[in-house]
Amino acid sequence: MQPFTEYLRYLSRGVKQWLIDSGLSNLFATALTDYMWLIGLFLLSVIVFYITKNIVYRLIRRMARRSKTPFDDFLIERKFFARLCYLVPAYLFQMLLPLVINQMQGLITFLQTLTSIYITFIILLAIDAFLNASHDLYLTKPLSKDKPIKGFVQIVKIIIYSFGVIIIIALLTGKKPLALLGGLGAISAILLLVFKDSILGFVAGIQLTSNNMLRIGDWITMPKHEADGTVREITLTTVKVENFDKTFTFIPAYSLVSDSFRNWRGMEEAGVRRITRAINIDMNSVKFCTPELLQKFEQVAVLQEYIRKTEAEIQAYNQQFGFDNSVLVNGRRQTNLGVFRAYLINYLKHNPNISNAHTLIVRHLAPTEKGLPIQIYCFANTTEWAVYEKIQADIFDHVIAIIPFFELRVFQNPTGADFRGLIN
């Protein structure tokens, strides 16, 4: 480096002497020499940038395409190497500037400060690109679905950019960065207010990730924010949810910790989805089964064993305690509603779309002014929405259709047709 520096100074003195010999004053010749070297240095930096961008960068891209690792492809895509190309001419300009200018120390200081700010800014952009590429690589790993780190990456970016701003301010003011850092304590309250959402989002992100409460791809529902869909992105401050109507809801990350929400991941992992729906029965249609009615129900294949077994148990019980069978209230009797419930249980057990490995119940709910709700509680062997809705609809199509067979009536409020029938 020393011989090169001496050579540049030798050339500078030669150009200056040539200008003096041409009739210029020493002061003017010195200033003109410095400006000529400054323009030349600028042109040299442009040429170096052109060579770096169009030759070296293309070689790097070609090597990245041939490489088997995807990380260098992500670096190319995020323009990491492209941004590094801007550093080469800047460093060259900053290094050679004091060597080619003999006078005008004020201009040297100004240009070096400007170049240092430019270099700091490019380094920040390069680090940003490197972090983005690292996050892209992480997204290719299976772990990324369970442990999203985009919020942490954003925190690192904030810290890096904060240090970058401090360095730039230090360059402009001529103070040391550590001295500026020491003064941050005085404005910490203001920073807490400015970055309140970011701080709360960062804390919420740690809680969501560490407790495995939320993953990308989870189906969540949060009525407070009208969210019902799939989690597409988890950032530092917000969670992006794509609703089933193809709209997007952006939920503050901290709200997912402070408020309640439902995550349907367990259902999807189990591979089943719950069916829980009730149909109201008119209680006036519930009655004891006569021998003729039981004989009618025995024609149903899935009920034959149930009716015979239950009837034998009832007769044995009534005989044991000597109940008078001529009065239906005495002893135990089968009802059309009880047989109907038994039919539904056997129907669901033989339905290939219903899981027998999970809870399967047909039960009474509390009677209301709208009748007696008979609830079906079971699990469909699918989590696909359209298929699930079809299975559920098919079941209740069948239930509504066979209710009259058991001499039961569905309860519903009177309609216009009912009132017209009364008038006629």
Q: 3-state class of 183 per DSSP?
A: helix
Report if residue 10 sits inside a domain.
Answer: yes
396 and 294 fall within a common domain: yes
User: Looking at residues 40-60, what average pLDDT do you find?
Assistant: 82
Same domain (yes/no): 259, 316 = no
What does the pLDDT average to over 100-114? 72
Q: Is the pLDDT of residue 245 over 60?
A: yes
3-class secondary-structure state, position 272: coil
Question: Residue 397: which pLDDT band, with cuts at 50, 70 and 90?
Answer: very high
- The fraction of the chain above a pLDDT of 70, given in percent, is 80
In the chain, the number of structural domains is: 3
Q: Using the predicted structure, report yes or no on whether residue 119 has a pLDDT greater than 80.
A: yes
Q: What is the mean pLDDT of the chain?
A: 81
Question: Residue 189: which pLDDT band, with cuts at 50, 70 and 90?
Answer: low
Strand partners, 240: 233, 250
Q: Hey, which of 150-164, 243-257, 320-334, 374-388 has the most confident mean pLDDT? A: 374-388
Task: Please check whether residues 416 and 283 belong to one and the same domain.
Answer: yes
The pLDDT-based confidence of 183 (bands split at 50, 70, 90) is low
User: For residue 173, is it within any domain?
Assistant: no
Domain that holds residue 237: 207-264
Task: Note whether residue 155 is domain-resident.
Answer: no
Which letter does DSSP use for residue 56 in this model?
A: I
Query: Among 240, 264, 288, where does a domain finish?
Result: 264
Residue 199 phi, psi (nearest 5): -65, -45
**pLDDT value at 420 more than 90:** no
150 lies in some domain: no
Q: What is the mean pLDDT of residues 394-417?
A: 89
Q: Which of 82, 110, 140 is the last residue of a domain?
A: 140
- CA distance linking residue 342 with residue 347, whole number of Å: 9
Cα separation, 4 vs 237, in Å, equals: 53
Q: What is the mean pLDDT of residues 147-154?
A: 75
Question: Which residue type occupies 139?
Answer: L
Distances (CA, A) of 180 to 55, 166, 196: 41, 7, 22
Average pLDDT for 112-119 = 84
pLDDT at 27 over 70: no
Q: Please tell me which residue, 348 or 177, carries the higher pLDDT value.
A: 348
Q: Which residues contact 215 (CB under 8 A, 6 or more apart)?
A: 145, 146, 147, 148, 231, 265
Q: Is residue 385 part of a domain?
A: yes
Asked whether residue 62 is assigned to any structural domain, the reply reads yes
Interatomic CA distance for residues 109 and 97, integer angstroms: 10
Q: Would the pLDDT of 295 be above 50?
A: yes
How would residue 32 be classed by pLDDT, with cut points 50, 70 and 90?
A: low
SS3 13: helix
Q: Report CA-CA distances (Å) from 35 to 5, 46, 47, 287.
A: 18, 17, 18, 110
Could you tell me the two tokens for 191? 């920073």
Are 250 and 307 within one domain?
A: no
C-beta of residue 102 within 8 angstroms of C-beta of residue 62: no
pTM: predicted TM-score of the whole model, two decimal places = 0.54
Half-sphere exposure of residue 143: CA atoms within 13 angstroms, side-chain side: 6
**377 and 356, same domain (yes or no):** yes
Residue 147 scores a pLDDT above 90: no
Whichever domain contains 255, its CATH number is 2.30.30.60
Mark whether 307 and 256 lie in a shared domain: no
**291 and 243 in a common domain:** no
Summarised one tens digit per residue, pLDDT across range 258-292 is 788 888 888 877 889 999 999 999 999 999 988 89
Cβ atoms of 343 and 303 within 8 Å: the answer is yes
pLDDT (average), residues 238-252: 89
Q: Are residues 409 and 298 in the same domain?
A: yes
First-to-last CA distance in the chain? 113
Q: Which of 90, 121, 140 is the last residue of a domain?
A: 140
How much is the average pLDDT of 139-155? 76
How many CA atoms lie less than 13 Å away from 87 in the CB half-sphere?
A: 15
Indicate whether 170 pLDDT > 50: yes
Same domain, yes or no, for 384 and 357? yes
CA distances from 51 to 3, 46, 57, 126 (A): 25, 9, 9, 19
Is residue 29 within 8 Å of 19, Cβ to Cβ? yes
pLDDT digits (tens, 9 = 90+) for 191-224: 666 666 667 777 777 677 666 778 888 889 998 8
Q: Do 94 and 13 reside in the same domain of the chain?
A: yes
**The pLDDT value given to residue 215:** 82
Q: Do 164 and 153 contact (CB within 8 A), yes or no? A: no
Rounded Cα distance, 118 and 412, in Å:
76
Instruction: Give the bridge partners for 277, in sequence order.
Output: 376
If pLDDT is split at 50, 70 and 90, which confidence band does 4 have? Answer: very low
User: Average pLDDT of 36-58?
Assistant: 80
3-state helix, strand, coil in the chain (%, to 5): 65, 10, 25
Residue 171 lies inside a defined structural domain of this protein: no
The answer to whether residues 341 and 300 belong to one domain is yes
Among candidates 217, 35, 5, which has minimal Cα distance to 111? 35
Residues 310, 254 within the same domain? no
pLDDT for 179 = 63
Asked if residue 308 belongs to a domain, the reply is yes
Comparison of pLDDT for 319 and 180, the residue scoring more: 319
